[in-house]
Amino acid sequence: MKAHDGMYIDGAWRPAAGQDAIEVVNPADEQVIGRVPAGTAEDVDTAVRAARAALPGWAATPPAERAARLAALRDVLVARKDEIAETVTAELGSPLKFSQNVHAAVPIAVAGSYAELAAAYAFEEKVGNSTVHHEPIGVVGAITPWNYPLHQIVAKAAPALAAGCTVVLKPAEDTPLVAQLFAEAVHEAGVPAGVFNLVTGLGPVAGQALAEHPDIDLVSFTGSTAVGRQIGATAGAAVKKVALELGGKSANVILPSADLAKAVNVGVANVMSNSGQTCSAWTRMLVHREQYEEAVELAATAAAKYGERIGPVVSAKQQQRVRGYIEKGVAEGARLVAGGAEPPRAQGYFVAPTVFADVAPDMTIAQEEIFGPVLSIIRYEDEDDALRIANGTAYGLAGAVWAGDQPEAVAFARRMDTGQVDINGGRFNPLAPFGGYKQSGVGRELGAHGLAEYLQTKSLQF
Ligand code: NAP
Ligand code: MG
């Protein structure tokens, strides 16, 4: 993927208003692999105008035709899946196999799901003597992070386009290349000019200009809670809807009746995959005191084995941040049983797969999102204690429960204050609503619930 020296606005690649550029770095070898323009408020404004101008036409386009464009988009992503995987590996650093199986495959599934939903969704319903129309909310400002760079773009752009909205996207500065590839794919799919627009740039400049733009109807943001809070406040002041997909500190609750080895091994793999840069990762493993030492040993062994397969974290800044948390864990008295703060390689932003035992529920490493390959194993006394610990953070994005039988796991999961729970290792479902309780966010992505976020209702009475 060769970087474009421009913004994709109104159906064409146009020169940026300013001269500044962002260097894209491969975190595995620290080499510069490309340059993209750093957009300004002026670029954002041009893109928002294009999206506004395209809105009436796209909103009036029959859902079947919008579905056809989304199906074409899915087909382009399929045709370019190897290039997608290579691009994500180059700018995010994830191992190529993971890029193929997750970073390329999941967006294809999600784009496909919205091609089907756009065609099948009831955009009109009868309620008594009323007809309720589900209309597009308008121009969407989408701001995305780098950890699942294409998935997070598609999880916003696909439902927005399915709903009849137009979009301006500001992707993460660390992973702009796959965003440019996505803009090419939208173009190839025959989506009309102005319906999707891309402005690359820095968060506090281009991102903030987009979030504050008066002609944006909905801001959909995925990233840190700190920035999300600010975007929510800005939207609140303007009386605008906002969708926030924020952090997590999810609990993996292993009940005494569970298959311990399986639960621990899947739990470690869950935290280490994508180098721990997954908002829904089960970064706290909760184990009954009688099985605790066995679980710690299993986890340390699994993490050591994972070490050869792990990619770097995205940037030097993230590497420093994660190392800081590991040092803090040691300083607060947790017992390091695998990994540590020392970088395992001289080159690249690598962090060793790290496991802490004897973690108290209120330690920093058990409360804050680390966003690196770091697992905390916490001891519980009984089920009520496990539930208190599981629910005892500001977050509520995801979680897991393992038990000997499904009803026991389900009963526990129903008491968790969290938006998603995987039962005995249940697999990812691209149609299931994804989003947070508590400070993990506002709104839901994926499937029909994700589509509804981009719609507003109008009732006609007869
Ligand atoms: P971030 O700053 O929240 O970045 C997310 C997106 O928001 C990026 O596109 C970013 O641009 C943009 N942004 C930053 N400041 C902004 C502002 N003032 N107004 C509008 N947009 C703004 O997150 P980060 O710096 O990449 O990562 C920091 C931490 O956030 C991570 O360590 C992790 O804990 C958490 N995080 C969570 C998720 C998640 O999926 N829940 C994803 C990523 C990060 P830039 O790329 O230019 O910064
Ligand atoms: Mg940032």
Nearest to 158 by CA among 231, 220, 103, 241: 220
Q: Residue 1 has what pLDDT?
A: 77
Longest dimension (CA), the chain: 72
Distance, CA 217 to ligand 1 centroid (Å)? 21
Q: Residue 457 has what pLDDT?
A: 98
Q: Residue 306 has what pLDDT?
A: 87
Structure tokens at 18: 């300013």
Tell whether 187 and 321 lie within a shared domain: no
Match 């009520």 to its residue by tokens.
384
The reply to whether 435 falls in a domain is: no
In tens, the pLDDT along 273-282 reads 999 999 999 9
> CATH number of the domain that 357 lies in?
3.40.309.10
Q: Residue 64 has what pLDDT?
A: 98
What Å distances lie between residue 390 and 358, 380, 397, CA to CA? 16, 10, 12
Tell whether 96 and 239 lie within a shared domain: yes
Tell whether 142 and 226 lie within a shared domain: yes
Atom 42, ligand 1: which residue's CA is nearest? Answer: 223
> CATH number of the domain that 242 lies in?
3.40.605.10
- Alpha-carbon 445 to chain mean position: 10
What Å distances lie between residue 348 and 35, 257, 354, 372, CA to CA? 19, 42, 17, 15
Tell whether 302 and 448 lie within a shared domain: no
Structure tokens at 380: 């519980």
Nearest to 251 by CA among 386, 61, 116, 427: 386
Q: Residue 411 has what pLDDT?
A: 98
CA distance 381 to 254: 12
| Ligand 1 atom nearest residue 441's Cα | 41
Q: 78 Cβ partners below 8 Å, 6+ apart?
A: 108
Please, are residues 99 and 86 in contact by the beta-carbon 8 Å criterion?
yes
Nearest to 43 by CA among 166, 180, 200, 194: 200
The pLDDT-based confidence of 296 (bands split at 50, 70, 90) is: very high
Q: What is the mean pLDDT of the segment spanning 369-381? A: 98
The reply to whether 85 falls in a domain is: yes
Q: Provide the domain count of the chain.
A: 2
SS3 per-residue string spanning the chain: CCCCCCEEECCEEECCCCCCEEEEEECCCCEEEEEEECCCHHHHHHHHHHHHHHHHHHHHCCHHHHHHHHHHHHHHHHHCHHHHHHHHHHHHCCCHHHHHHHHHHHHHHHHHHHHHHHHHCCCEEEECCEEEEEEECCEEEEECCCCCHHHHHHHHHHHHHHHCCEEEEECCCCCCHHHHHHHHHHHHCCCCCCCEEECCCCHHHHHHHHHHCCCCCEEEEECCHHHHHHHHHHHHHCCCEEEEECCCCCEEEECCCCCHHHHHHHHHHHHHHHHHCCCCCCCEEEEEHHHHHHHHHHHHHHHHHHCCCCCCCCCHHHHHHHHHHHHHHHHCCCEEEECCCCCCCCCCCCCCCEEEECCCCCCHHHHCCCCCCEEEEEEECCHHHHHHHHCCCCCCCCEEEECCCHHHHHHHHCCCCCCCCEECCCCCCCCCCECCCHHHEECCECHHHHHHCCEEEEEEEC
Which domain, by its residues, includes 130? 6-246+440-461
The reply to whether 425 falls in a domain is: yes
Tell whether 421 and 453 lie within a shared domain: no
Pocket of ligand 1 (CB under 6 A): 143-147, 170, 172-174, 202-204, 207-208, 211, 222-224, 227, 230, 245-247, 279, 369, 371
CA distance 250 to 271: 10
Tell whether 135 and 284 lie within a shared domain: no
Q: Residue 336 has what pLDDT?
A: 98
| Overall pTM surpassing 0.85 (yes/no) | yes
Residue 413 CB neighbour total at 10 angstroms? 19
Tell whether 219 and 76 lie within a shared domain: yes
Tell whether 242 and 286 lie within a shared domain: no
Tell whether 343 and 456 lie within a shared domain: no
What Å distances lie between residue 147 and 102, 133, 182, CA to CA? 12, 36, 16
Q: Residue 309 has what pLDDT?
A: 85
Tell whether 181 and 301 lie within a shared domain: no
Q: Residue 205 has what pLDDT?
A: 98
CA distance 278 to 151: 12
Q: Residue 44 has what pLDDT?
A: 98
Residue 308 has pLDDT above 80, yes or no: no
CA distance 215 to 293: 57
| Ligand 1 atom nearest residue 226's Cα | 3
Distance, CA 203 to ligand 2 centroid (Å)? 6
Atom 43, ligand 1: which residue's CA is nearest? Answer: 223
Q: Residue 144 has what pLDDT?
A: 98
Tell whether 198 and 309 lie within a shared domain: no
Ligand 1, pocket-test mutation among 146, 208, 227, 231, most atoms within 8 A of CB: 227
In tens, the pLDDT along 310-368 reads 999 999 999 999 999 999 999 999 999 999 999 999 999 999 999 999 999 999 999 99
Tell whether 70 and 160 lie within a shared domain: yes
Please, are residues 218 and 234 in contact by the beta-carbon 8 Å criterion?
no
Q: Residue 307 has what pLDDT?
A: 78
The reply to whether 202 falls in a domain is: yes
CA angle 360, 366, 372 (to 5 degrees): 140
In tens, the pLDDT along 137-183 reads 999 999 999 999 999 999 999 999 999 999 999 999 999 999 999 99
CA distance 69 to 242: 26
Q: Residue 69 has what pLDDT?
A: 98
